[in-house]
Amino acid sequence: MKVLIQRVSEASVTVENKVVGTIRKGLLVFLGITHSDSEKEAQFLADKVANLRVFEDGEGKMNLSLKDVEGSALIISQFTLYGDAIKGRRPSFTDAARPDKATPLYEYFISEVRKTGIKTEAGIFGASMEVSLVNSGPVTILIEK
């Protein structure tokens, strides 16, 4: 499982011209799921999202978590995080889990983030989405478990 986390001052996701999720200060989380992933990885990464210290404290140091700043999370399914473009010109996505496995883990991950007390919005799994964001910093972190 991979999460690509971006610290944002605002972010939203639109499906078929309808905004389905929007946040202000918080984290935009792109979630990629592979074949061997389980609820164990989802729990670990949900805790990481809630507690990762990427927000600045009074001294300008990244010392505060999403919980500390009472921020929100916007979670987007992103199978292309498992794209392999080493060979040829067209990426291969064979390492991305199929929807029958990935959908329940995506939903489980969202529920685990919500359990931490974080206000959480989400995209729609498998939909064609337009994501808008203002990356604050910029801060972008990739975590793989």
> Measuring CA to CA, how many Å separate 2 from each of 21, 64, 89?
21, 22, 23
pLDDT at site 121: 98
pLDDT at site 104: 98
Which domains are seen in the chain, by residue range? 2-144 (3.50.80.10)
pLDDT at site 57: 96
pTM above 0.75, yes or no: yes
- Dihedral sign of CA atoms 81, 98, 75, 113 in order: negative
pLDDT at site 135: 97
- Point out the residues that are catalytic: 80
3-state DSSP assignment of residue 108: helix
pLDDT at site 21: 98
pLDDT at site 105: 98
pLDDT tens string for the chain (145 positions)? Answer: 999 999 999 999 999 999 999 999 999 999 999 999 999 999 999 999 999 999 999 999 999 999 999 999 999 999 999 999 999 999 999 999 999 999 999 999 999 999 999 999 999 999 999 999 999 999 999 999 8
Collect all residues with Cβ–Cβ distance below 8 Å to 65 and sequence separation of at least 6.
50, 51, 52, 53, 54, 55
